[in-house]
Chain A
Amino acid sequence: MTQGVGVVGVYVRDQDEALKFYVEKLGFRVHTDARNGDYRWLTVQHPDQPFFQLGLFAPQPPTLDAATAQSLRELVAKGAMPPLVLVVDDCRAAHDRMRELGVEFTQEPVERYGAVDAGFRDPSGNGWKMIEAPGNPG
């Protein structure tokens, strides 16, 4: 059995919108999409990372009270959630592909010490760095 982190979630303002974004623009696959009343457990997976799921969760009752949920929606929209890093083989190619699909880039690819990184946000406001490690040929 493999041990380690299995699910990490981000808060999103709209799960349908987030699902479309992570699947159609980032190339993730749906892992679990289960509903119970208004509650929806939704996770996606990077195709190269079968052991890890990224949760796309809505801050909402009944897991949170209404005021807390509202505060979280504000924080996400202000870009105040923790950093997320997507590791790619070719940052510039991924940037071009994603930009074509309408992804909102906050930083064009920049080379620093041999690594290349770019920045983008999901529709909710979660900020991602997309990093190509140094020493990548091409």
Chain B
Amino acid sequence: MAKMVQPTGQAPELLRRLLRAKDRMDAASDEDWPIRRLARVSGASEAHFARSFKEAFGVPPHRYLLTRRLERAAALLRDTNLSITQIAFHTGWNSLGTFGRTFREVTGESPGELRTREKAARHQFEQVPACFLGAAHRPHLTIAVSEKRRRKASGMGRAEATESS
């Protein structure tokens, strides 16, 4: 169930700087974004950055980065003929195995399956700017991947659980 959106009490000046870190991950999701680097972009202390980011945007920074990488990978699978290996490395993964496993765990299908399905369907989205279209396909990752994995293993369905990490 969605929570009501309340004013967070975070200063707009801080939020604007946190947005800059989010923008930078958006622009280069294939790069490494250690907390130190993100904190520097935001002009925030490392100690406060991750908590402030999560408070502002609802997900921890690295989970946000993960959704952007998967979104980009899905777009490349859909729109290019790059191999799945190439796509994995273009979108910031060091290992093809981790990419394939994480992709399947989050989206419910393998990269190859998504490619086959998307290529079979013709789209009517030419009038929507590609960047907004990409956002619409962003995976909705409300829980940590590890949590998703754990629930699947234990046979838990879609029951809501308190968000971890």
Partners in one complex: yes
Q: Interface digits, A104-129 against B, CB 8 Å rule (1 contact, 0 not)?
A: 10111000110001010100110001
Are the C-beta atoms of A121 and B10 separated by less than 8 Å? Answer: no
Residue of B nearest to A120 (CB): B23
Are the C-beta atoms of A125 and B19 separated by less than 8 Å? Answer: yes
B155: Cβ under 8 A from any A Cβ: no
Instruction: Tell me the smallest distance from the CB of A34 to a CB of chain B, in Å.
Output: 25
Q: How far is the CA of A24 from the CA of B7 in the complex (A)?
A: 33
- Known contacts A67-B7, A77-B12; is A121 also within 8 Å of B131 by CB? no
Q: How far is the CA of A107 from the CA of B27 in the complex (A)?
A: 6
A78: Cβ under 8 A from any B Cβ: yes
Number of A residues contacting the other chain (C-beta, 8 Å)? Answer: 25
A85: Cβ under 8 A from any B Cβ: yes
Q: Using Cβ atoms and an 8 Å threshold, which residues of chain B touch A107?
A: 26-27, 131
Are the C-beta atoms of B132 and A108 separated by less than 8 Å? Answer: no
Instruction: Tell me the smallest distance from the CB of A135 to a CB of chain B, in Å.
Output: 14
Q: What residues make up the interface of A, taking CB atoms closer than 8 Å to B?
A: 13, 67, 70-71, 73-74, 76-79, 83, 85, 104, 106-108, 112-113, 117, 119, 121, 124-125, 129, 131
12 A/B residue pairs, CB under 8 Å, sorted by A: A73-B12, A74-B7, A74-B8, A77-B12, A78-B15, A79-B19, A106-B26, A107-B27, A117-B129, A121-B19, A129-B129, A131-B129
